[in-house]
Amino acid sequence: MLFDFPVEIIEIRTGDESWGPFSWSLAGAIPPNDSVEAVTVKSLAPDGVTDSTSALIKADSVVVSDGSVTLQLNYPGDALTGRHILTFEVTFASGETTALKYAYILVEK
């Protein structure tokens, strides 16, 4: 699988309540003469099917500013251990959209 950000592993372990904030620059994905209108961040669990967004991404922590996205993470529980992939669904002021993938958020017991 190809990813749109350099592959770096963020490790989340039990015992802590939140991690971050973490930031991702969208600068390379912004079309010329356009700007970021909105970003929705989703998380896919290690099984490749389960949406782990509400368990992994801290509620109301996603902030978009100056072409970057910042968020905080939660420990999602022992049932969701393994490698999670984040998807950034970006909408530009022009109405154009794109989806960018980041790997990995590694959740360990």
pLDDT at 51: 97
pLDDT at 15: 78
In angstroms, rounded to a whole number, what is the distance separating the alpha carbons of residues 76 and 43? Answer: 11
| pLDDT tens series, the chain, 109 aa | 568 888 889 999 887 667 889 999 999 999 999 999 999 999 999 998 999 999 999 999 999 998 999 999 999 989 999 999 999 999 999 999 999 999 999 999 8
pLDDT at 84: 97
In angstroms, rounded to a whole number, what is the distance separating the alpha carbons of residues 77 and 103? Answer: 19
pLDDT at 19: 86
pLDDT at 1: 59
The CATH architecture that domain 10-108 belongs to is: Sandwich (2.60)
pLDDT at 17: 66
The residues spanned by each domain of the chain are 10-108
Residue 109 burial (CB < 10 Å; 0-12/13-18/19+)?
exposed
pTM check: above 0.85: yes
DSSP code at position 78: G
Going through 3-67 in order, the beta strands assigned E by DSSP cover: 10-13, 18-25, 36-44, 63-65
In angstroms, rounded to a whole number, what is the distance separating the alpha carbons of residues 71 and 31? Answer: 23
